[in-house]
Amino acid sequence: MGNTAKKNIAVLGSTGSIGKQALDVIRQHPDKFKAALLVANNSWEALCAQALEFNADDVVICNGEHFHKVKEALEGHGISVHEGMGAVCDLVSKPEIDIVLTSMVGFSGLESTVAAIKAGKTIALANKETLVAAGSIVMSMAKKSGSRILPVDSEHSAIFQCLQGANGATVERIHLTASGGPFRTWEKTRIAAAKREQALKHPQWNMGNKVTIDSATMMNKGLEVIEARWLFDVSPERINVVVHPQSIIHSMVEFADGAVIAQLGHPDMREPIQYALGYPERLSLTNKKIDFAQLATLTFFAPDTEKFPALQLAYKALEKGGNMPCIMNAANEAAVSAYLKDIIGFYDISDIISSCMDEAGFIADPGLDDIYRTNTEAFCLANRKIDRKNRA
C-alpha cells in the first residue's frame, strides 16, 4: 500500500472516549483514513449516527438485543449490520482492513485483538488489558503473524516516539509519567472516604469511567508499567514511574550516557491516536499547541505508594509473572465496577486485588485458554469478596 492510498480503519469501541476521538482524527483527514468498520457494545444510537456520518462498510453491535434497531436505522444505506463478538473477530480479519484500533474497555477486548493479530493486521492498541492479561502470549503471536502493534496509550506513544531517535541504542530506563490523579494532594483518610463523583474528576485527561478510576487509584500506571514491559521488551526494574501533575511530558526514555529524550504536548488523546494511525507519517492536528513561556513550571514527584498501593501490586504481579497480571487485572475490573456502583470504598479496591492475588490459582506458563479461565475465576473470586464486604 502506497502513502497515497487511504487506510481502512476498524474502530472497536467507536462510541467510547477513545473511539470518538479516533473518529475526530479520521474526520480531519478524510483523504488519509476511512472508518470502514465500527463496533460498539450497547450504544446503538450513537453507533448508527457514526455509521451514517462516516459511511462505514460494516458495523457490529455486540449486544444482540439492539441488532434489529440498528438494522432498521441503517436500512437502505449500503452498510452491513452484524451482531456479536464472533462477527467482530471475522470482520477485523478481512483483507480490506489495514489498521485495527482496539479501544474497547477491559478484558473483553482481548478476543478481537487476538483475532486481528492472528490475521497480521496493524494494531493501534488502546486496550491496555490485552497486554496486561496476556502480554507474553500476544507479543509472540504478533511476532509470528507479522502484526505490528502501535501504542495509542499516551505514555507508550511517547516512548515509541522517543525511540524513533534511538538509532538502535539500548534503553537504560523508561520514565513513565503519571498525573497522580484527583487525590494526589489529599490526606489518606480523606481519600478513604472519597466517592465516585470525586474520583471521576480527573485533573488533566478526559477519559472513560474505568480508566479514570484506575487513574485515581494509580492502578492505571501499574497497568501501563506492565504494558511497557511487553511493548518495549524492558525488564520491570528499568521502568520508573514519576508523578508529573501537569501531564505535559507524556513519558521519557533514558540512555546509557544519561541522555533523556522526552515527548511533550498538551494532554489530548487525539495526538497519540493520530500518530498510530498515520505512522510513520506525522499529520496536522487541530489541537492546543505548547506555549513554553506560559507553561513556566513543570514539577515531578516520586509516587506515594502508601496512599496508592495499587502501583506496587502491579510491580508484584509483573515480578511473579505467569497468570498473575491477569488475576490482578480481573480483580481490578470487578472492584472498580463495584466502586462505581458505590458498593465498596476506595481502599477496598486495592485490598480486594491484593487478596485475590494471594488466593487465586497461579499458573507459571499459561496458554491463552488458561488466561480466559483465570480471568473468569479471578473475576468471580473478587465478586465473592465484594459481596462479603457489602454484607458486613
Whole-Å CA distances, 267 to 23, 29, 354: 18, 21, 31
Nearest to 320 by CA among 350, 353, 352, 365: 365
Beta strand pairing status for 249-255 and 171-178?
antiparallel
Other CB atoms within a 10 A radius of the CB of residue 377 amount to 17
> Nine-digit cell at 237?
526494574
Say if residues 232 and 170 touch (Cβ distance below 8 Å).
no
Provide, rounded to whole angstroms, the least separation between the CB of residue 347 and Mg ion: 23
Count interface residues toward Mg ion (CB under 5 A): 3
301 DSSP assignment: B
Beta strand pairing status for 239-243 and 171-178?
parallel
Which range of residues in 86-94, 152-160, 290-298, 329-337 is near Mg ion by CB under 5 A? 152-160
Please tell me whether 251 is known to bind a ligand. no
| Smaller CB separation from Mg ion, 98 or 155 | 155
Please tell me whether 297 is known to bind a ligand. no
Q: Is 83 near Mg ion (CB under 5 A)? A: no
Which range of residues in 29-37, 56-64, 153-161, 269-277 is near Mg ion by CB under 5 A? 153-161
Nearest to 95 by CA among 36, 141, 39: 36
Q: Is 333 near Mg ion (CB under 5 A)? A: no
> Nine-digit cell at 365?
506458563
Provide, rounded to whole angstroms, the least separation between the CB of residue 55 and Mg ion: 31
Provide, rounded to whole angstroms, the least separation between the CB of residue 362 and Mg ion: 28
Provide, rounded to whole angstroms, the least separation between the CB of residue 105 and Mg ion: 13
Q: Is 98 near Mg ion (CB under 5 A)? A: no
Please tell me whether 170 is known to bind a ligand. no
Decide: residue 298, CB within 10 A, 0-12 exposed, 13-18 middle, 19+ buried.
Answer: middle
| Smaller CB separation from Mg ion, 212 or 375 | 212
| Smaller CB separation from Mg ion, 79 or 178 | 178
Which range of residues in 53-61, 147-155, 168-176, 350-358 is near Mg ion by CB under 5 A? 147-155
> Nine-digit cell at 32?
488519509
266 DSSP assignment: -
Provide, rounded to whole angstroms, the least separation between the CB of residue 267 and Mg ion: 10
| Smaller CB separation from Mg ion, 155 or 254 | 155
* CA-based max dimension of the chain: 63
Determine the residue with CB nearest Mg ion.
153
- CA–CA separation, 229 vs 235, rounded Å? 6
| Smaller CB separation from Mg ion, 112 or 247 | 247
| Smaller CB separation from Mg ion, 93 or 251 | 251
Provide, rounded to whole angstroms, the least separation between the CB of residue 154 and Mg ion: 5
Of 98, 129, 153, 227, which lies in the binding site for Mg ion, with binding defined by CB under 5 A? 153
Query: 251 pairs with which residues across the strands?
Result: 263
Nearest to 153 by CA among 287, 317, 297, 271: 271
| Smaller CB separation from Mg ion, 153 or 348 | 153
Please tell me whether 202 is known to bind a ligand. yes
Beta strand pairing status for 239-243 and 7-12?
unpaired
Other CB atoms within a 10 A radius of the CB of residue 163 amount to 16
Please tell me whether 179 is known to bind a ligand. yes
Provide, rounded to whole angstroms, the least separation between the CB of residue 312 and Mg ion: 18
Which residues are near Mg ion by CB under 5 A?
153-155
Residues of each annotated binding site for 1-deoxy-D-xylulose 5-phosphate = 128, 154-155, 179, 202, 215, 220-221, 224
